[in-house]
Amino acid sequence: MADVGEVLMSVLSTIRVPKPGDRVHKDECALSFSSPESEGGLYVCMNSFLGFGSKYVDRHHSRTGQRAYFHITRTRKAKKEEDNNSGSGHPPKKKPTRLAIGIEGGFDVEQDQYEEDVKVIILPDRQEVTSDDLATMPDVVKERVSLSMAGIMTADSVSHALQVQQWDGEVRQESRHAADLKQLDNGLKIPPSGWRCEVCDLQENIWMNLTDGKVLCGRRYFDGSGGNNHALLHYQETGYPLAVKLGTITPDGADVYSYDEDDMVLDSKLPEHLSHFGIDMMTMEKTERTMTELEIAVNQRVGEWEVIQESGTTLRPLYGPGLTGMKNLGNSCYLNSVMQVLFTVPDFQSKYVSNIDKIIDDAPSDPTQDFKTQVAKLGYGLLSGEYSKPAPDPGDENDASEPRGDQIGIAPRMFKALVGRGHPEFSTNRQQDAQEFLLHFINMVERNCRSGLNPSEAFRFLVEERIVCQQSQKAKYTQRVDYIVQLPVPMDQATNTEELQEAERRREEGDSSAPTVRAQIPFTACMAALSEPEILTDFWSSAVQTKTTATKTTRFASFPDHLVIQIKKFTFGLDWVPKKLDVSIDVPDTLDLSALRATGQQPGEELLPEVAPPPLMTPDVEVKGILGSHGNEEDDSLYSPLLSPVLDDSTVSQLCEMGFPLEACRKAVYYTGNTGIDAATNWIMSHMDDPDFSAPLVLPGCSSGAGTTPTESLSEEHLATIVSMGFSRDQATKALRATSNVLDRAVDWIFSHLDDLESMDVSEGGRSAAESEGGRDPPPGPRVRDGPGKYELFAFISHMGTSTMCGHYVCHIKKDQQWVIFNDQKVCASEKPPKDLGYLYFYRRVAE
């Protein structure tokens, strides 16, 4: 064997010193979830700074020829006895006093103490070089290798840089109203205690408006606790923006809320503002919990297995293949729950796990940035069972009263960074909506599966919308693609109305002992609300050439292999404040939707003529003529009404009144096919971050001016993505030209214009119609699976908290006829799965 010094000299040119901007992966293997704490440690390539576990380092060496690796191994230090004073180790040894992460007084982050051993390993003979060994080597070798080792050691790892370790929820901004707040000289003086709401006599959660001194109760929380919204209603009536929470006033400050700014704020003139109403801030004592303390209490309860987490029951931990926990990276429980469920679906297993060896062999030089590789890595980590092992008990305590259930599990840092990259929400550590993430991930799968198996097809289905003009009784049929059934919650159908009204009455009377009653909603009532016809009051009928009333009925044109149902628990109140409906729904284990299958045009039924309504006149559109009646093809100043936007001006006006840009409102109405304010609002909410959100609406066949013209080249990547969904290249081209070459808008456009595509060829897996079987044109639209509409429940995701932007997600999955709860790193047999409290339900087709 050659002398190690000579070997180092021969590979010196491949050893780099990390520079600013280099991505150093020293915490996680690029192809597995091995880490420095894993058996065999982690090998960091000293040229590319990619990390590899012992299973994959030889593969990287053979593919690249790289020989020098920085080897890191870590072993956990035994905790001192004085640190182990918290029983099982679950409650933090110090109770949080600050709504923050990673700073003094805040919530603890995972900062285990390790002993670390580092050295350089030279492959393929695995020769070792320690820092002491370098001292005896030539200066040129010693300097380069030492600098590289030191650079890797001191560099922030990619996972650390991506994960914000400190977050302070108490940093508040000075209110813009504080300096010049108007206070009424009404002679009102507020006593130092004994406050009651002036409307309902409630004695808790009491706020004083700093403009007129009105003493009123605060907002009602999602679970029925809190107040009765009287302080908020007072702001809506008067516009007086600031209120202080009585009971939190101390010489150091108080809770001040700005209704106008919709946030907790600072008021630098608070002593002066309180003095105006006779309150001496220096003599006040705290008698109520601050909003921060209330939020801390909520965040602490998240980890105590309450409510949906089946509290009060000793749950048996489970380990093995398909039973792997996922670490919470800071509000990543929404991602954990969704991915646990998706990798229960055979399509995702087949695509990403069954052939993982081939995926890894085909991985690019930097697999950390490859979608297929990282999804496969996650899927294998969840299903293999390699990481489904009990986590080491801190301090090796043996007196825990019950199993902890925590696993070593996997930390999906690379996956989260990749799927969230560039997204304004999923790239952050804030809590997110699990339904929105599910659709975001499905969209990424669609874009990355241009050939071969596309697992998102398991959820894809066609929806048929039938609109009937009530004046002419003629109908119009349209189809669109969807992945989720959104089920409305008809609160007026609650079966325990008397109990709800009694609890409400007692609360309004200030009875603090009034029980919290959850509305019991029959699942059949939710399905009826979904299937019943919707009344359209401003429908433009091409049969009678005017606006009239129509009915819209929605049915399934196809039934997917796997059906996702979202319970629409999150809504907006009349004051546009988000709220969560506290409901219990008797969701069934089996579901038969056969009666909701679309039937298409009925015998003898007449269709509405394909005539566009008059164009919407807006300040930026001037109609100079109508082609065919006043002009000719050579006259550029004239155009056909068929190229004009088919827009409902009342819906556009309503959206504009909400404060959205005119062009965004026009696009929302256009791309949702004039189906009403709700659909248009949802489109706006999901496209607000588009770079062209406020850009002018570009119509099919029209030049966009500064945008794409019919002759301008289109993105081959965008074309390939749309073709992979089952459309022809011509159809993809038409959609992209109609939407300025913006992929998301093109997909929206093509699904809302299926009728316009009937005369165009649709590909089957990239083939033209002439090449398809029998030479027969398949119906326009994406590839969808179809079968009987009978399903069985196999998973559901539940949410705890006041809104999708806070709280906690867990999921329950049926494995071998046993319900299992996945709560981040805890995986246990479920004793009482709370199927009535879920948010997202997942059904699979029952084979007949």
Q: Which amino acids are annotated as binding site for Zn(2+), given as ranges?
A: 197, 200, 217, 230
Report yes or no: 828 and 820 within 8 Å, Cβ to Cβ.
yes
From 29, 333, 449, 526, active-site residue: 333
* Cα–Cα distance for residue pair 518/316, rounded to 1 Å: 29
Q: Which residues contact 135 (CB under 8 A, 6 or more apart)?
A: 142
Cβ neighbours for 124, distance < 8 A, ≥ 6 positions apart: 58, 61, 67
Q: Is 440 a catalytic residue?
A: no
The binding site for substrate consists of 207, 219-222, 257, 259, 262
- 333 as an active site residue: the answer is yes
Instruction: Tell me if 219 sits within 8 A of 190, measured CB to CB.
Output: no
Note the helical H segments in 3-113.
Answer: 4-10, 57-64
Q: Which residue has the tokens 């628990």?
A: 569
Alpha carbon distance 399, 782 (integer Å): 58
Record the tokens describing residue 494, joined without a space.
């609650």
CB 89 within 8 A of CB 392: no
Q: Distance (Å, rounded) from C-alpha 234 to C-alpha 793?
A: 46
DSSP state for residue 760 in the 8-state scheme: S
Token duo for residue 19: 């520079």
Phi, psi of 652 (to 5 degrees): -60, -45
Strand residue runs (E) in 455-587: 461-469, 475-482, 485-487, 519-521, 534-541, 546-556, 562-567, 570-572, 578-580, 583-585
DSSP, collapsed to helix, strand or coil, labels residue 816 as coil
Phi-psi region of 21 (alpha: psi -120 to 50; beta: other; left: phi over 0): left
Please tell me whether residue 843 adopts helix, strand or coil conformation: strand
* Rounded distance between C-alpha atoms, residue 739 and residue 733, angstroms: 10
* Tokens (6 digits) for 277: 């109403």
* Cβ-based neighbour number of residue 268 at 10 Å: 11
Beta bridge partners of 838: 798
DSSP secondary structure letters along 595-616: GGB---SPTTPPBPP--PPPPP
Q: Between vectors from CA 177 to CA 173 and to CA 180, what angle results, nearest 5°?
A: 130
How many Å apart are CA 750 and CA 721, to the nearest integer?
Answer: 13
Cβ-contact 350, 433 below 8 angstroms:
no
CA distance 237 to 37: 60
Angle at 420 between CA 308 and CA 746, to 5 degrees: 110
**What is the token pair recorded at 824?**
């981040």
Residue 576 — left, alpha, or beta (φ > 0 → left; ψ -120 to 50 → alpha)?
left
Catalytic member of 562, 808, 811, 828: 808
72-99: buried (b, 16+ CB within 10 Å) or exposed (e) per residue?
Answer: bbbeeeeeeeeebeeeebeeeeeebebb
**Geometric angle at alpha carbon 397, from 394 and 401, rounded to 5°:** 115
> What secondary structure letter does DSSP report for 156?
P
Rounded CA gap, 229 and 208, in Å?
13
Binding residues: 197, 200, 207, 217, 219-222, 230, 257, 259, 262
- Residues contacting residue 16 through CB under 8 Å, at least 6 positions apart: 46, 47, 49, 148
Residue 326 pairs in a beta bridge with: 410
CA distance 672 to 152: 52
Yes or no: say if 192 and 284 are a contact pair by the CB < 8 Å rule: yes
- Identity of residue 315: L
Q: Which residues pair with 773 in a beta bridge?
A: none
Cα 126 from Cα 122, distance rounded (Å): 5
Catalytic residues: 333, 808
